[in-house]
Amino acid sequence: MSDNIIQVENLVKKFGELVAVDHVSFNVVQGEIFGFLGPNGAGKTTTINILCTLARPTAGRATLNGFDVVRQQNQVRQSIGLVFQDPSLDDHLTGLHNLRFHAMVYNVPVSVREQRIKHLLEMVELWDKRNKFVNTYSGGMKRRLELARGLLHYPKVLFLDEPTLGLDPQTRNHIWEYVLELRKREGTTVFMTTHYMDEAEKADRIAIVDYGKLVAMDTPGELKHSIGKDIISLKTEDDEKAAEEITRRYQTEVRNDKDHLTFSIANGEEFLPVFIKEFGIKILSISLRRPTLEDVFLKLTGREIREEGEAGDTIKAHIREHSRHMRR
Amino acid sequence: MLSAILFPIMFLFIFGSGLRGSIGMMGGGIDFVQFMYPGIMGMSVLMGSFMSGVSIVWDREFGFLKEVLVAPISRISVALGRTLGAATVATIQGIIILVLAPVIGVSISVWTVLALLPLMFLLAASMGSMGILLASRIKSTEAFQAIMQMLMFPMIFLSGVFFPMQDLPTWMSVIVKINPATYGIAAIREVVLGSSADSPFNIILFGHIMTIWDNIAVLAVFGFIMIILAMWSFGRQE
């Protein structure tokens, strides 16, 4: 099984009574982009922390690049690059010095060091700012610098923990360009967690986790296909009555989200004209779409991924950023 | 960091000027300010070395510690590096207090300075390891500072910086003798003011008069235990 760069077997992590990771097993193939999808507290970050030796598993086993994450920590650490959710840069150093420090502790040969740093800083468009202190960087610049840093020692696996959380769309696109280019050129394996569905679509395979358990794992296409039906959303004059009627007539479950109804149905394109013609209650608006990963997530976990994610996280990140400034 | 120098100097001048007259000579031809002076040096080293832990807790809060913890370098060398770095800074802070010697009326020779350097470094490394031991388990800067202060001030006040060992109430004498900082302060005082078997400032432990080497040995054993614990604890943290 030499092309499995990450192998995880029955991984368990408990914090006291709380089971954060509950008998999780999966493999990641060399060179693939592997996405970890799940709400906050599902055990995504804990799993990443175990894989990058920041946390010890309670039970089970994990190897990365052939090295055991408990017994061969230094070899594992040398094999990985990380971009964390929260900045992990030294604010009191310049961008350039942050990279030099990293190159030193990761044994990047001095002969290639400066050239590599220059190349990476140009790639993330920070070469001009290299002599500025990191505490003058914006959030997007910091994340880009971290990405450059994570790639400096040519890791086998790049971990991206919510790599674009709280960044503007332009920076998000940029970061993805770098990552995709890197994979093409170096064959780097990418292991990421994300809340953004369009980002998850970029993964070759996705694992959906909820309450510490792996609930599904497949390609984005297959996962969407597993729903098998199209999604129809509509607004009517009387949503409650309409919901009852749809359930009665078409034997399908209707979700009432206060301002609109959604239900899934096979062959939506043919269904829609018939439905509009024969439905008794006045329809105000209606739309048909193919299932998205969001729908897959909703079906598997009964929750919307964004409900607890994004907004809360962004606020938290802001507060953290703010207190950082206050204290320094 | 500045406070680790200014604070002790403030103590030296305020307590010194206030109490010098009423206390008079302390024995051995030494007045209160001269007595306190080596203690203040030690205090400066103590305060400086305690702060080493703060930098770790800060790095944790600001995220940079993660970069260090996932780097392919052993945690032991990280902990050791932190300790030695902090000890160096703290020693320099102690040395800065030496500049005041002429004002206090204590004569300092080159040999005194050379003897003080390793001694202060030992004291700083021991206390710095203790700081790192605590820092490896405490997650927030606020909690760390609270605990440090609860630990640091009793350790300084009950270490013989401000008063000699004799004629203390028994409970206080016991605490002072348990306090490892006491032995560091005593050794510094012996180097600066000279030592003799009949000096009024000697520590008497179980009827034995502690020589300067005894004091250094106690400090070294404490420091060794602390540094082992610090490396172990720092290595195991998640």
Question: What is the share, in percent, of chain B residues with pLDDT greater than 70?
Answer: 95
**How far apart, in whole angstroms, are the C-alpha atoms of residue A165 and residue A194?**
8
What local confidence, expressed as pLDDT, does residue B169 receive? 85
CA distances from B161 to A179, B39, B43, B150, B182 (A): 60, 4, 7, 17, 8
Closest CA to B180 of B215, B129, B149, B207: B215
Residue B57 has pLDDT above 90, yes or no: no
The stretch B126-138 carries a mean pLDDT of 89
The backbone torsions φ and ψ at residue A324, rounded to the nearest 5 degrees and listed phi first, read -55, -45
CA distances from A276 to A238, A247, A265, A280, B218 (A): 15, 15, 14, 9, 90
Neighbours of A78 (CB within 10 A): 18
| B71 neighbourhood in chain A, CB within 8 Å | 77, 102, 105-106
The verdict on A56 touching B (C-beta cutoff 8 Å) is yes
Please report which confidence band the pLDDT of residue B197 belongs to, taking 50, 70 and 90 as the band edges: low
Bridge-based pairing of strands A59-64 and A4-15 is antiparallel
Please report which confidence band the pLDDT of residue B77 belongs to, taking 50, 70 and 90 as the band edges: confident
**Which amino acid is located at A286 in the chain?**
I
**Which amino acid is located at A146 in the chain?**
E
**How far apart, in whole angstroms, are the C-alpha atoms of residue A107 and residue A105?**
6
What stretches in chain A show pLDDT beneath 70? Answer: 1-2, 305-328
Are A164 and A94 in contact by the 8 Å Cβ rule? The answer is no
Q: Who among A75, A77, A87 is closest to B71 (CB)?
A: A77
Question: What is the share, in percent, of chain B residues with pLDDT greater than 90?
Answer: 11
Q: Please judge whether B66 and A102 are an interchain contact, meaning their C-beta atoms are less than 8 angstroms apart.
A: no
User: How much is the CA Rg of chain B, to the nearest whole Å?
Assistant: 18
Between A156-165, B9-18, B22-31, B89-98, the lowest mean confidence (pLDDT) is in B22-31
Residue located via tokens 């409970």: B171
The verdict on B62 touching A (C-beta cutoff 8 Å) is yes
Residue B105 has pLDDT above 90, yes or no: no
Please report which confidence band the pLDDT of residue B120 belongs to, taking 50, 70 and 90 as the band edges: very high
Q: Which structure tokens are listed for A276?
A: 């509009």
Q: Mutate one of A52, A105, A160 to test the B interface: name it (highest B CB count within 10 A).
A: A105
Beta bridge partners of A285: A235
| B62 neighbourhood in chain A, CB within 8 Å | 87, 91, 324
Q: Quote the pTM value.
A: 0.75
**How far apart, in whole angstroms, are the C-alpha atoms of residue B61 and residue A320?**
9
State CA A162 to chain mean position distance: 5
Question: What are the residues whose beta carbons fall under 8 Å from the beta carbon of B90, sequence distance 6 or more?
Answer: B4, B44, B45, B46, B47, B48, B49, B51, B52, B120, B124, B127, B128
Q: Which structure tokens are listed for A257?
A: 């989200």
More confident residue, A285 or B163: A285
What local confidence, expressed as pLDDT, does residue B174 receive? 87
